[in-house]
């Protein structure tokens, strides 16, 4: 949380923000807000980015961005025939860009500071042998050590490819895979992990995030220092694979192929083919893909995963050369005590549920193939972050829990609600230990550093190390000695591009 502005903010006489022209009426307008983000749209047929963003004005008092910009490329933004998966993807892109506007941008790294001592971290421009910037803020360093189980890592490894608009501004694809703040959008859903929350806590101006909901990320988890410091070609781990091998993607989310992209440091990983995401029933598919799923009796749903299959005899029908090499398909699953159970559809109205023990093969007498069970069922079950029906297009999903838009409640935003929301409940009034936020219509706990409160802007008692100033918890220190930096480039774009990978 941040201390609210005590006065209105004005953009001023600058005419652009991140290369986007700001109308005169918005330049001189007084905003009673903590952060204003200008949103623009353009059709850019020459580039394949979804959006770009960045801050363009910060305060002298606490170096907090107060104005920023997000520009959407209408060429890539899905606006027609929008479904629940497209909505989730657009929301994820929005959050990615908002986090950049909050301060996740290389030029601001030098101004990150400890919110308790108000001392700058004095971050260096340390780079490893592969030219990766190591972002060594305290919480990010501790999170990295704990996550990878490696005491030698000093911070988060930043992207070293993708050009000036990607390198150093994002987490490295090779180690963070589909984390929300990596530099490109992959087929399948992104994950909002502890790395992003650790960095947000280390910005300084947002004090600390005491409570947050994150996705559970498994890519690289507990793989040790070898995963970070050895060449990927020397490692035998699930994260990397042999080039051109047809396979299930990492985490068994979809069907794909082992290959590289422009951000993968010449490491090969298992990504999802377009049209072969096991969790997206709305995706566009070629007729050959439809035929493959039909022949293998696939079920595509938010509860489905990719499994390797083997035919008991030669296939009668032949598909294209590419699809004929694919020995995988999608089946609905249910996890019980970290064990996978396959829910197999025998016909239109008949389903059977079968336990799928690790490394064993399931044989069905009614079909011409066997299904091989994966060897890492615990990891796969832990990696399930999806919400039922993607929150029914009424909210945002994080770790199987929806945050619903105004007017809806329930675990999956399935119920209408005109009252306050907490978890899956719709309430007339909030519990005594919470406060009712009339803007979001959620029952919320106290903001960062506040022990007890009456509202988000009226704290009654602070955590240790903080004291009450105008109903808000401030550190027991003087204000920081900031530079006079206030505006960033008026003509040059601050571009943090979220690229598209087309496979």
Q: Residue 148: which H helix or E strand, with range?
A: helix 138-148
Task: Give the mean pLDDT of 60-77.
Answer: 89
Distances (CA, A) of 236 to 88, 150, 218, 251, 268: 33, 18, 16, 16, 12
pLDDT for residue 489 is more than 80: no
Burial class (CB in 10 A: 0-12, 13-18, 19+), 59: middle
The tens digit of pLDDT for each residue in 363-380 reads 877 677 889 999 888 888
Give the C-alpha separation, 216 to 137, whole Å: 22
Strand partners, 260: none
Closest Cα partner for 289 from 336, 253, 233, 330? 330
Catalytic positions, written as ranges: 97
Tokens of 337: 């005590």
Average pLDDT, whole number, for the chain? 84
Task: Give the mean pLDDT of 452-467.
Answer: 79
**Is the model more confident about 145 or about 244?**
145
Q: How many other C-beta atoms are found inside a 10 Å radius of the C-beta of residue 190?
A: 23
Closest Cα partner for 66 from 74, 75, 57? 57
Give the C-alpha separation, 131 to 490, whole Å: 29
Task: Give the mean pLDDT of 235-249.
Answer: 88
Instruction: State the residue for tokens 């999608």.
Output: 330
**Is the model more confident about 430 or about 173?**
173
DSSP at 371: E
pLDDT grade for 192, boundaries at 50, 70 and 90: very high
Closest Cα partner for 183 from 159, 217, 209, 152? 159
Strand partners, 259: 269
Task: Give the mean pLDDT of 393-409.
Answer: 85
Instruction: State the residue for tokens 């601001």.
Output: 108
Three-class DSSP category at 76:
coil
The tens digit of pLDDT for each residue in 167-182 reads 999 999 999 999 999 9
Three-class DSSP category at 333:
strand
User: Among 47-56, 82-91, 116-125, 382-391, which is the least confidently predicted range?
Assistant: 382-391
Give the C-alpha separation, 381 to 375, whole Å: 12
Q: Which residues contact 464 (CB under 8 A, 6 or more apart)?
A: none
Closest Cα partner for 13 from 30, 27, 29, 31? 27
Task: Give the mean pLDDT of 115-122.
Answer: 84
User: Among 272-276, 417-421, 495-499, which is the least confidently predicted range?
Assistant: 495-499
Annotated binding residue at 132?
A: no
* pLDDT value of residue 491: 29
* pLDDT value of residue 430: 86
pLDDT for residue 213 is more than 80: no
Q: What are phi and psi of 215, to 5 degrees?
A: -75, 155
Task: Give the mean pLDDT of 125-129.
Answer: 83
Instruction: State the residue for tokens 């042998």.
Output: 129
Domain ranges of the chain: 270-383
Annotated binding residue at 292?
A: no
* pLDDT value of residue 488: 47
Share of the chain above pLDDT 90, in %: 40
Annotated binding residue at 170?
A: yes
Distances (CA, A) of 80 to 52, 75, 281, 501: 21, 12, 16, 21
* pLDDT value of residue 239: 93
pLDDT for residue 331 is more than 90: yes
Q: How many other C-beta atoms are found inside a 10 Å radius of the C-beta of residue 66?
A: 19
* pLDDT value of residue 502: 29
Q: Which residues contact 248 (CB under 8 A, 6 or more apart)?
A: 254, 255, 256, 270, 305, 306, 307, 308, 328, 374
- Enter the pTM of the model: 0.83
pLDDT for residue 389 is more than 50: yes
Give the C-alpha separation, 146 to 149, whole Å: 5
Burial class (CB in 10 A: 0-12, 13-18, 19+), 328: buried
Task: Give the mean pLDDT of 245-274.
Answer: 89
For β-strands 156-157 and 134-135, DSSP reports them as antiparallel
* pLDDT value of residue 499: 38
Closest Cα partner for 423 from 438, 442, 405, 441? 442
pLDDT for residue 485 is more than 60: no
pLDDT for residue 410 is more than 50: yes
Tokens of 455: 């509202």
């Amino acid at each position: 949380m941040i201390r609210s502005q005590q006065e209105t903010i004005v953009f001023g006489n600058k005419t652009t923000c991140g290369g986007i022209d700001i109308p005169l009426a918005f330049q001189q307008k007084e905003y009673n807000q903590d952060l204003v983000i200008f949103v623009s749209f353009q059709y850019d047929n020459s580039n394949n980015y979804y959006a770009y963003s960045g801050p363009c004005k910060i305060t002298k008092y606490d170096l907090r961005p107060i104005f920023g910009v997000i520009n959407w490329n209408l060429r890539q933004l899905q606006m027609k025939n929008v479904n629940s998966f497209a909505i989730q993807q657009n929301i994820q892109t929005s959050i990615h860009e908002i986090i950049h506007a909050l301060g996740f941008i290389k030029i601001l790294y030098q101004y990150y500071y400890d919110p308790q001592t108000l001392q700058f971290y004095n971050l260096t421009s340390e780079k490893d042998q592969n030219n990766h910037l190591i972002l060594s803020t305290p919480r990010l360093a501790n999170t990295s050590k704990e996550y990878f189980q490696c005491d030698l890592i000093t911070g988060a490894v930043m992207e070293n490819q993708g050009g000036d608009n990607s390198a150093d501004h994002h987490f490295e694809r090779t180690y963070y895979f589909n984390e929300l703040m990596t530099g490109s959008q992959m087929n399948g859903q992104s994950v909002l992990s502890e790395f992003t929350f650790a960095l947000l806590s280390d910005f300084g101006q947002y004090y600390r995030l005491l409570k947050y909901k994150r996705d559970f990320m498994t890519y690289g988890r507990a793989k040790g220092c070898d995963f970070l410091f050895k060449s990927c070609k020397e490692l035998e781990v699930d994260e990397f694979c042999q080039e051109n091998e047809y396979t299930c993607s990492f985490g068994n989310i979809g069907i794909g192929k082992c290959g590289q992209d422009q951000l993968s440091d010449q490491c090969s990983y298992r990504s999802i083919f377009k049209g072969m995401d096991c969790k997206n029933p709305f995706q566009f598919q070629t007729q050959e893909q439809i035929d493959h799923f039909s022949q293998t009796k696939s079920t595509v749903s938010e509860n489905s995963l990719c499994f390797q299959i083997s035919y008991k005899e030669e296939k009668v029908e032949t598909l294209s050369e590419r699809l004929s090499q694919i020995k995988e398909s999608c089946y609905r699953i249910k996890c019980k005590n970290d064990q996978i159970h396959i829910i197999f559809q025998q016909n239109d109205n008949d389903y059977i549920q079968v336990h799928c023990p690790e490394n064993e093969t399931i044989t069905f007498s009614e079909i011409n193939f066997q299904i091989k069970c994966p060897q890492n069922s615990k990891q796969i079950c832990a990696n399930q972050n999806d919400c039922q029906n993607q929150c029914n297009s009424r909210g945002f999903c994080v770790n199987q829990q929806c945050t619903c838009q105004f007017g809806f409640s329930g675990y999956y935003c399935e119920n209408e609600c005109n009252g306050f929301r907490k978890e899956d409940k719709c309430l007339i009034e909030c519990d005594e230990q919470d406060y009712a936020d009339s803007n979001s219509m959620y029952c919320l706990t106290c903001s960062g550093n506040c022990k007890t409160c009456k509202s988000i802007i009226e704290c009654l008692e602070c955590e240790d190390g903080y004291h009450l100033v105008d109903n808000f918890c401030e550190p027991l220190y003087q204000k920081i000695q900031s530079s006079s930096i206030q505006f960033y480039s008026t003509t040059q774009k601050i571009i943090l591009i979220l690229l598209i990978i087309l496979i």
